[in-house]
Structure 1
Amino acid sequence: MTTSTSQLTTLFIVVALVCAFVPAFSVEEGEAKTLWDTCLLEITPKCALDIIGVVFGNGTITDACCHDLVEEGKVCHDTLIKYISDRLHIVANETQYLKKRDDLWTHCVSVTKTA
């Protein structure tokens, strides 16, 4: 019985962590989910992780990922970063992340104009 309870508890913790850290599972509105799905069509998973790494950490981004980001558009970029920054565990630093989001966008637009 304790093994079953332990496994159930572990499963619950994993599901809770996934919902907390993966915004696509947390989006409740149909329109927002559609926008989320639409915005991630052209960006590779690696580029998406790089973008998140730049905005929420000290990551770097390649010129190729900048091109993908600009191709998706500013509305997608702004919306996706806003969804992530709205999560309770990071909302206290939202202003900082939104500034980094805008700085990344400016950088990527300048990269695409020089290419």
Structure 2
Amino acid sequence: MAMKENDQIIKENNCETKMGLPCVLKAFTSIFKTGSISNKCCGELVVLGKVCHSALVKRALENPLFKDLNPMTIIVKSIQTWNNCLALIDSLSPSA
């Protein structure tokens, strides 16, 4: 059931077309392995939106490739990556 919901969210919001592949790879590396995400890719992630970000991470967790990873650890890392990017973009944008 959850898998269908994530796929539907991803499809309805065109999530897979909002980020360039290099930034998708950087974001996933920072969440599923170790590494940092560049300012440019943080910008793309924030434009992608939290709904898409969460759905894509959850869908990736359903992939057998990631079956040995702790889902809670990944969710926590994905939230940290999102919050870090949001803070970074907020700090870079000129305040009105």
Same fold per TM (> 0.5)?
yes
Q: State TM-score, norm by structure 2.
A: 0.79
Q: State TM-score, norm by structure 1.
A: 0.67
Partner residue of 2:86?
A: 109
Runs (5+) with no aligned partner, structure 1: 1-26
Rg larger in structure: 1
1:55·1:100 contact (CA, 8 Å) conserved in 2? yes
For residue 81 of structure 1, the aligned residue among 32, 57, 63 is: 57
Cα RMSD for the two superposed structures:
2.1
Q: Which gives a bigger RCO, structure 1 or 2 (Cα 8 Å, sep 6+)?
A: 2
Amino acid corresponding to residue 41 of structure 2 in structure 1? C
Point out 4+ residue stretches in structure 1 off by more than 3 angstroms. Answer: 27-30
Tell me the secondary structure at the aligned position of residue 40 of structure 1.
helix
Is 2:41 aligned against 1:34?
no
Q: How many residues align?
A: 88
CA shift in 2, pair 1:33/1:110, >3 Å: closer
Runs (5+) with no aligned partner, structure 2: none
For residue 99 of structure 1, the aligned residue among 44, 57, 76 is: 76
Cα-to-partner distance string for 1:68-110 (whole Å, 9 max, x where unaligned): 1001100000000010012234345111000000000000000
1:35 CA drift (Å): 4.0
